[in-house]
Amino acid sequence: MIVRPKPNLLGMLFSLKGSIAKRIALRSLLVTLLASVIVLVEIWHPAYFSKVNATPFTLLGLSLSIFMSFRNNACYDRWWEGRKHLGQLIIEVRSLIRQTQGLMVAAERELMLRELCGFAHGLIARLRVENEMRAIKPWTQDAVDAEHPNITDALLQRIGVRCSALAERGQISEWRYTQLETRLVSLSQVQASCERIKSTPLPFPYTLLLHRTIYLFCILLPFAMAEPLGWLTPVITAIVSYTFFGLDEIGDDLEDPFGFDENDLPCNAILRTLEREVLAALGQTDLPPALEPDDYVLN
């Protein structure tokens, strides 16, 4: 995620960190070169363009803009929903830290809190299609069943079993057990909600239609502008293609908010926040440093 002060005018014009300009530069350049070729053809053979009218492109451009705004809003909703669920993850872990302070056996509390850290690491690894077991292992004493279809949820189930055992032994009251179980249910909801975002992309025909329409519009637009605008056509085409290609690329970024792109959610920083708070609750003073933005990028 990009974290930086609001740039001034020059910074806004020339900043590349977090911009999609580098990823769409080749496409915009090719469309601009095509526009230049079309202008040359119009100069040599003006009769070819005498009946080309810009009205259809105006209507298509307006419709395309509205269509793109709907898609980008849908993608941003996914990004923001993912951030809310990761925020809920922090809330639930902090609540569990507070609610386990009354445990009579300190070793049980330490084991439970460390496994909660393992759950968070496993969840992020699962969302990023990484090795869940490798992410969880540093935070657990006993290995989780590697054959389980959902290793992260298996760890959460094990925490629930520990809470149940504490209640049966009388080390926590039934009321306390109910509170802890409520928090574990909320963590399970966080995992399921994040998995829903990850496993349910925007409908492919919806995205495909938008991609095709953008390319057709940017390729055909110079034919309508060549006669009235002349050599301004490549300039206008470059601006339009940058805008449309850029919005399309931003939508692709936000559609999967848990990845490693510069504009994705800072999952590593969130995990480090949980680590520091859990370790501090366990009495450790040598805490890992909080992650800071590196060249304006917070991972």
Return the pLDDT at 84: 95
Task: Return the number of other C-beta atoms located less than 10 Å from residue 280's C-beta.
Answer: 12
Looking at every residue in the chain, the average pLDDT score rounds to 84
Tell me if 90 is assigned to some domain.
yes
C-alpha 187/C-alpha 189 separation (Å) is 5
> Cα–Cα–Cα angle for 204, 206, 211, nearest 5°?
90
Tell me if 6 is assigned to some domain.
no
Return the pLDDT at 149: 86
Please give the residue range of the domain that contains residue 255: 19-281
Report the number of distinct structural domains present in the chain: 1
Return the pLDDT at 271: 92
Instruction: Dig out the tokens for 52 from the structure.
Output: 């080309």
Long-range pairs, 194-200, Cβ under 8 A, ≥24: 194/82, 194/85, 194/86, 194/123, 194/127, 194/258, 195/126, 195/127, 197/78, 197/81, 197/82, 197/85, 197/257, 197/258, 198/127, 198/256, 198/258
Dump pLDDT digits (tens) for 118-154. Answer: 999 999 999 998 888 898 888 888 777 777 888 889 9
> What residue type is assigned to position 116 of the chain?
L
Tell which residue, 209, 111, 92, 197, has the closest CA to residue 155: 111
Q: DSSP for 229-298?
A: HGGGHHHHHHHHHHHHHHHHHHHHHHHSTTSSSTTS--HHHHHHHHHHHHHHHTT--SPPPPP--BTTB-
Instruction: Indicate the angle between helix axes 204-229 and 233-255, nearest 10 degrees.
Output: 170
Return the pLDDT at 104: 61
Task: Return the number of other C-beta atoms located less than 10 Å from residue 214's C-beta.
Answer: 20
Dump pLDDT digits (tens) for 96-106. Answer: 988 888 776 77
Q: Between the CA of residue 192 and those of 13, 76, 180, 230, 259, what are the distances in Å?
A: 41, 19, 19, 56, 17
Cα Rg for the chain, rounded, in angstroms? Answer: 27
Least confident of 36-50, 81-95, 147-161, 236-250: 36-50
Using the structure block, give the residue that is written with the tokens 């095709």: 212
Task: Give the residue with greater pLDDT, 55 vs 231.
Answer: 231
Percent of the chain exceeding pLDDT 70 equals 90
Q: Between the CA of residue 132 and those of 60, 139, 145, 154, what are the distances in Å?
A: 47, 12, 11, 11
Tell me if 127 is assigned to some domain.
yes
Tell me if 104 is assigned to some domain.
yes
- Pair 193, 22: CB distance under 8 Å: no
Instruction: Dig out the tokens for 60 from the structure.
Output: 């298509």
